[in-house]
Chain A
């Protein structure tokens, strides 16, 4: 099966650090919020680990950002400029996952170096990476030192507002952390996308060429 190099090394490093970091953040986040219900770590240990990993993830975010800002691979995130086409492709992708996949229909999206995400994926990742993740980092840093950032916290309505925003995004990631690996297991084999994110090479069912969706 032909292979194409779609995940450059910086992206893979970023991805796996991010994956481990987010899992840790979610576990420690649960521990911090639900002490008594969950007792894996002490509250203080959970807070310290949550804070440190949070800063690692912020640094890691810039690995992702700088890589895409300074290489031509940023096109993988470019949305379709035609909203109709974007919607049609997203709908077709949803239809595939919700129906076609059970009938053995082929995936409507064909991976290429500059179009590795399907329409739905690209849109979702843009919202996640450019809105939710930065917002989560921002609210997290404010909560890390409430006193130091009291001015900014007051501007947005107080520590309770900041925490509520932080928890709402946390809730999104709780759902995401289950759904994301499951969707990744829907390649031509269960492990195909996981292997690709380790080696950088995606196996494609047909010879790579110009993006057939264009």
Chain B
């Protein structure tokens, strides 16, 4: 007990000296009034650049806190001790607590964040990031990967595109965004609210897989409110196009497109989802795809039959959707004057979107699971029923019907021609007979 009391006194003295030194520093003076005495004591040491700690795995954890940034952060009001409650004068340097790695430290801190931000954490837990974390992905982002707790400000991430934390992991997508109509608009001085940043479309915490559901499309429509009316002025079947074609499929004019055929439950009116631990989709797709080179029309039909076996909950059909092939392409959005308006970029034989086909189901983690299919499935009469939910006039026309069209033309032209020929021959024959009889 006596030892501890002595150590406490020593630490208090150290903090006192450090606090005095901190107060004496000119650089952090602007923020002085924002801090309590205890916080000033902490910053007395931690404002020193280069302060760091070696971790068990050999990594180095920076212990530096920029006093000015912290003074401007939303966490300034709660001070150091609220988050670092585990650090007491007794266990402070030399720290007895070992930190295994920076990742371990970040994971431990999420519990601290959660204690105040429970509602946000709940949303995070439903996100694709949390799914990745639960799956053991070592780079799945947690709170401190996106937010620096010592400089976090309200909506700071929205102020300039350079500060967006998403770019740390999604660099190539971010570069595409930065060069897009949105990124350029956002980068103009004084135009920070003129275009969306990542979280405006994908949300900050409850980030969902972008190709599932209508979250991203609804984000587009929330800003572009007259979308339907604007398209209706020139686009036949506007609502159907807006439902079946993803926005970037036309508004990223350089993007390669593809068809995703999604398993859809008609009775429940929602996409079919795979249950946890029951990998039906992958197993069934592999079993019908004997050659392993993708599903052909017959295999697709068999797959649908498997999903519609007796006892299946409602009828399962395939609903098609036109998408861009990569996330990067989805962000290469151009000015609307450059958007695809040419109908025959899709509605013609051999059009680009119909060269790549996948079949998908929602996986147990919420992400789509895809299986490749032959592009010929789009033109096969075998898939009329199984692929009833997708058809693009001209682009996915059925070959057999084309043959029947040719046959109809042959009959239409052939019948009169043959009949006229017979008529002419019979008249000629009659004349000859008549001539002979006359002679």
Point out residues on A near B: beta carbons under 8 Å: 32-37, 42-44, 47-48, 51, 97, 101-104, 144-148, 154, 157-161, 163-164, 167-168, 171-172, 174-179, 182
Tell me the bound Cα distance from A101 to B408 in angstroms.
Answer: 24
State how many angstroms separate the Cβ of A186 from the closest Cβ of chain B: 8
**Contacting pair A160 B349 (CB below 8 A):** no
**Contacting pair A171 B404 (CB below 8 A):** yes
**Contacting pair B343 A43 (CB below 8 A):** yes
State how many angstroms separate the Cβ of A140 from the closest Cβ of chain B: 12
Point out residues on B near A: beta carbons under 8 Å: 234, 236-237, 239-240, 243, 266, 317, 343-344, 347-349, 381, 383-385, 387-391, 393-394, 397-398, 401, 404-405, 407-409, 411-413, 415-416, 419, 422-423, 426, 430
Q: A101-B423, A179-B412 are in contact. Are A171 and B405 (CB under 8 A)?
A: yes
Q: A146-B240, A147-B243 are in contact. Are A33 and B393 (CB under 8 A)?
A: yes
**Contacting pair A35 B347 (CB below 8 A):** yes
- Say what secondary structure dominates the interface of chain B: helix
**Contacting pair A160 B412 (CB below 8 A):** no
Report 7 cross-chain contacts, Cβ distance below 8 Å, ordered by A residue. Answer: A32-B394, A33-B394, A44-B234, A48-B236, A146-B239, A171-B404, A175-B412
| Among A35, A160, A179, contact of B416 (Cβ-Cβ < 8 Å) | A179
Q: A35-B394, A178-B415 are in contact. Are A161 and B384 (CB under 8 A)?
A: yes
Residues of chain B contacted by A174 (CB below 8 angstroms): 405, 408-409, 412
Tell me the bound Cα distance from A26 to B404 in angstroms.
Answer: 15
**Contacting pair B408 A172 (CB below 8 A):** yes
Q: A42-B343, A51-B236, A174-B409 are in contact. Are A160 and B384 (CB under 8 A)?
A: yes
Tell me the bound Cα distance from A178 to B419 in angstroms.
Answer: 13
Nearest opposing residue in chain A for B424, CB measure? A102
**Contacting pair A164 B237 (CB below 8 A):** no
Tell me the bound Cα distance from A36 to B401 in angstroms.
Answer: 17
Which of A48, A51, A154 has most chain B Cβ within 10 Å?
A154
Residues of chain B contacted by A47 (CB below 8 angstroms): 236, 343
**Contacting pair B388 A159 (CB below 8 A):** yes
State how many angstroms separate the Cβ of B87 from the closest Cβ of chain A: 60
What are the 8 A-B residue pairs with the smallest beta carbon separation, nearest first? A158-B388, A178-B412, A147-B239, A102-B426, A182-B416, A43-B343, A175-B408, A160-B391
Q: A34-B394, A36-B344, A43-B344 are in contact. Are A171 and B401 (CB under 8 A)?
A: yes
